[in-house]
Chain A
Amino acid sequence: MKIDILQHNLVPEHVILSDEEAEKVLLENDFEADEIPKILPTDPVIKAIGAKEGDLIQITGKSETAGIFTKYRIVRK
């Protein structure tokens, strides 16, 4: 039996950002691409959503302190 891990309640929402969106996020927050933490291409969620190396991923999940929190990862080995 195969389970869709994206439906699991502990897996936060992962969104692949388009190049323009990614550009915008970096520009607005004054982040350099190499300052953003990596997420492995072998990560189960990354494989499930089909992200490629170099993609910027937006992760929106529950936070104990802030309620909802958005963070970014770059798919990198």
Chain B
Amino acid sequence: MKGIIKKVSEIDFGLMSPETIRKMSVTKIVTPDTYDEDGYPIEAGLMDPRLGVIDPGLKCRTCGSKGGDCQGHFGHINFARPVIHVGFADTIHKILRSTCRKCGRVLLNETEKLEYHDRLQSRIDAGEDISRILKQIHLSAKKEKCPYCEEEQEEIKIDKPISLVEGNYKLTASEVRERLETIPEEDYIYIGINPKVARPEWMVLTVLPVPPVTVRPSITLETGERSEDDLTHKLVDILRINQRLKENMEAGAPQLIVEDLWELLQYHVTTYFDNEASGVPPARHRSGRPLKTLAQRLKGKEGRFRSNLAGKRVNFSARTVISPDPTLSINEVGVPEMIAKEVTVPIAVTEWNIDKMKEYINNGPDVHPGANYIIRPDGRKIRVYDETKETVIENLEPGYIVERHIIDGDIVLFNRQPSLHRMSMMAHEVRVLPYKTFRLNLCVCPPYNADFDGDEMNMHVFQTPEARAEANDIMKVQEHILSPRYGGPIIGAIHDHITGAYLLTHKDTVFEEDKAFQIIKRSKMELPEAKGRPWTGKEIFSLLLPDKLNLVYKAEICRKCEECKQRDCEYDAYVVISNGELLQGVVDDKGYGSGSGKILDAIVKQFSPSDARYFLDHGTKLAVFGGVMQRGFTTGTADEEIPKEAEDRIAELLERSDRRVEQLIEAYENNELEALPGRSLRETLEMKIMQVLGEARDNTGVIAEHYFTTNNSAVIMALTGARGSMLNLTQIATCVGQQAVRGGRINRGYIDRTLPHFHKGDVGSKASGFVHSSYKKGLDPLEFFFHAMGGREGLVDTAIRTAQSGYMQRRLVNALHDLSVHEDGTVRDNKGTIIQFKYGEDGINPAKSDYGAVANLDRLIEEMRLEDSRASK
């Protein structure tokens, strides 16, 4: 069996004939027992030694190879009576319905046959799908009388899963088989059977192949007790019933008993194939657990296909909880020492690194920069033990391979599920650190969609120099700062980084020179030349910018005034960077935040990913040490405090809108309301109320915003885009607003009212889920209930959305995974067929584009002007 290499030239899918089953079988199985009292397998039993061996010491009685090399041999069971195969019950039913009950011919007249034959044959010759034509035939092959033998036809129904009933009579498997046998071979084509590989009667089993023991190994428990595989259990059942059936038949038992046993045999064979067939109670183990039979081994997520063939387990990988470490570079990952000592890199020993390698081996497997295995030039792998390491070191010479622990600077692959886009797997440099969690820089949280509430991530260690080189060049984190989804940065500053940069670059931020130098030093940046005067925050931040950078944009804090005063912006929201100097404007989310950072975007595109990495690594530190930590930053409900006078104004405003709603309802009831085009009166009323209440909520927000000052931490966070929004703040401070279910005001619950606390027909603001209270003040019970309704809908929606988009993504990926962009710009599939004549029709790589567009002319001109003005000076 060993060493024979053959090439597969074609594959036929067909049915196995009883003859083939008997021919490939090495023995007939008759005894339902497995082992005798001495523990030896019984001949002609289910563990017959001719079926193959598992013990490595024994030789196979059939093929002579040792256990492990012998892949096993099939046996067979002859059934006393034929049995229908569950997997084909539907097919059998279809065939019987479209063939004559007497002569077996397909119920089509000559002309129909001729027409279908031509169509089928041409399709088959072209290797195309014939299932649609077969469906048509199945529908048209229905006659009350057979066109050939004039026999009256009766309807055959299928009683799931395996009983076929003609009229009121239940057909036995033997009768089914007889009918299938009478179908003439020239009619096979109309029922979709290729006579070369299958015959319909083979769908009714007369003989059952018994899989070799390697397929159903028995396990020995610690107690010495043998425990058999589920398949063996099922085969025992089949054999036992088969034997009883045979004996009863031979003894001439009454028809009723024979039929009962036959039915039982059918049940066992059915559950042997599929223990989850609908309409059949699943066969159970003694403990009550349903048996895992053939179909269950293959089907579903834990089946052979999805679990073992499509998904494989890997070596040199690690998984643990993640936690943040702002001192790491975005390119780095902190690896616990415990993991570093477990996963290894193979290093070829050369005369130049042999001393280093000896050092690793000397450290052994338990001391960190050590080695676990060495591989000799003859391919033998030897584990390094403290006891044997001396001899290993002595024998070490160039040509050996040392599997050493991973050390600082090694390249590894880091991944968080679900791996939805390419940024879900990026290459990082290792930093071996104490404790037991993976550490990562906060800027790489957005691409992985990671947080630290218990998230775990996986790490894989590259094993070849080619893999390392490729990962270093194209998979490193810095190469993925720009997202191919929208052509902007996806890796960037988050939360406190943004607050910090805002505070640092704020107009009023000035530090004494020594303080400024402390901040710069703490951020691990090179010390600049002394100015001999205090430094502004903008000057400190400018140290990070490349000298040739010119940029103009509007910051996140921009109030979107009617007319932009540009350089005279009173909020310092107009950012101007000229030759690497932050002249005006604050740096916030728009500056270097994840998702929209303009400065970051410009540095990657105009300079290099390495420059961007430097900017991010040190920019975030600068923001934390120079911004947040110098001033101190905290938030609490005090930030959402508004004065009494504001509260009064809000209460009055809400009261006014409530009155307005009442007026609208009154107008509706008096039929004074005018319907909007395309709306009914009721809809018009609903829309108008929604509008009034929406405005009311917005106006309370405006009042609150009026009282919020810009040194309010919560407001700073909301305005700079660090965290939270103005809406969040006003909901806390003033009024939560309308709760919605199914896109409208709440109108469900009781008959004509939402809760029994209201009058029937009340559609006022309170009765339809408008929350007048603020989160800070607290909701009353009715408001709380409506709020829970709206909140619940949100939760359900997100759950459904993720499931739906996940499935959609799976289908898309399956359809597109072979497509690639070729050198000439075309998109082609794996056969070379063109799918798109130019990638994206414009040949643009979105990651290199300006937010999806080829170029932003306005910006280019403004930047050129800046460069010009500098040059002329």
**Residues 33-60 of A contacting B (Cβ, < 8 Å):** 34-37
Q: Is A27 an interface residue (CB 8 A)?
A: no
Residues on A with C-beta less than 8 A from B837 are: 69-72
Question: Which chain B residue lies CB-closest to A29?
Answer: B824
Residues on A with C-beta less than 8 A from B834 are: 31, 35-37
- A37 near B842 with CB under 8 A, answer no
Q: Is B382 an interface residue (CB 8 A)?
A: no
Q: How far is the CA of A34 from the CA of B828 in the complex (A)?
A: 12
Q: How far is the CA of A37 from the CA of B829 in the complex (A)?
A: 11
**Closest CB-CB distance, B527 to chain A, in whole Å?**
48
- B824 near A66 with CB under 8 A, answer no
Please report the total number of B residues contacting A with Cβ < 8 Å: 13
- B844 near A65 with CB under 8 A, answer yes
Please report the total number of A residues contacting B with Cβ < 8 Å: 16
**Residues 740-755 of B contacting A (Cβ, < 8 Å):** none
Question: Which chain B residue lies CB-closest to A70?
Answer: B837
- B838 near A37 with CB under 8 A, answer no
Question: Which chain A residue lies CB-closest to B828?
Answer: A35
Identify B833's interface contact among A30, A35, A65, A70, CB under 8 A: A35
Residues on B with C-beta less than 8 A from A29 are: 824
**Closest CB-CB distance, A29 to chain B, in whole Å?**
7
- B841 near A65 with CB under 8 A, answer yes
**Closest CB-CB distance, B698 to chain A, in whole Å?**
34
**Closest CB-CB distance, A45 to chain B, in whole Å?**
18
Q: Is B832 an interface residue (CB 8 A)?
A: yes
Q: Is A63 an interface residue (CB 8 A)?
A: yes
Q: Is B778 an interface residue (CB 8 A)?
A: no
Q: Is B835 an interface residue (CB 8 A)?
A: yes
Q: How far is the CA of A71 from the CA of B838 in the complex (A)?
A: 9
Given A29-B824, A30-B824, A35-B828, is A69 in contact with B838 using a C-beta cutoff of 8 Å? yes
- A65 near B840 with CB under 8 A, answer yes
A-contact bits for B806-843, CB 8 A (1 contact / 0 none): 00000000000000000010001000111111101110
Residues on A with C-beta less than 8 A from B824 are: 29-30
Q: How far is the CA of A57 from the CA of B824 in the complex (A)?
A: 21
Given A29-B824, A30-B824, is A66 in contact with B841 using a C-beta cutoff of 8 Å? yes
Which among B832, B835, B837, B844 has the highest number of chain A CB atoms within 10 Å?
A: B837
Q: How far is the CA of A70 from the CA of B826 in the complex (A)?
A: 13
Residues on B with C-beta less than 8 A from A30 are: 824
Identify B842's interface contact among A35, A63, A71, CB under 8 A: A63
Q: How far is the CA of A72 from the CA of B835 in the complex (A)?
A: 11
**Closest CB-CB distance, B713 to chain A, in whole Å?**
43
- A35 near B841 with CB under 8 A, answer no
Given A29-B824, A30-B824, is A37 in contact with B835 using a C-beta cutoff of 8 Å? yes
20 A-B residue pairings within 8 Å (CB atoms): A29-B824, A30-B824, A31-B834, A34-B833, A35-B828, A35-B832, A35-B833, A36-B834, A37-B833, A37-B835, A63-B841, A64-B841, A65-B844, A66-B838, A66-B840, A66-B841, A66-B842, A69-B838, A69-B841, A71-B836
Q: 9 shortest A-B CB distances, which residue pairs?
A: A66-B842, A65-B842, A66-B841, A63-B841, A69-B841, A71-B837, A65-B841, A35-B834, A65-B840
Interface residues of A (CB under 8 A from B): 29-32, 34-37, 63-66, 69-72
With contacts A32-B832, A66-B840, A66-B842 known, what are 16 further pairs, Cβ within 8 A?
A35-B832, A35-B833, A35-B834, A36-B834, A37-B835, A63-B841, A65-B841, A65-B842, A65-B844, A66-B838, A66-B841, A69-B837, A69-B842, A70-B837, A71-B836, A72-B837
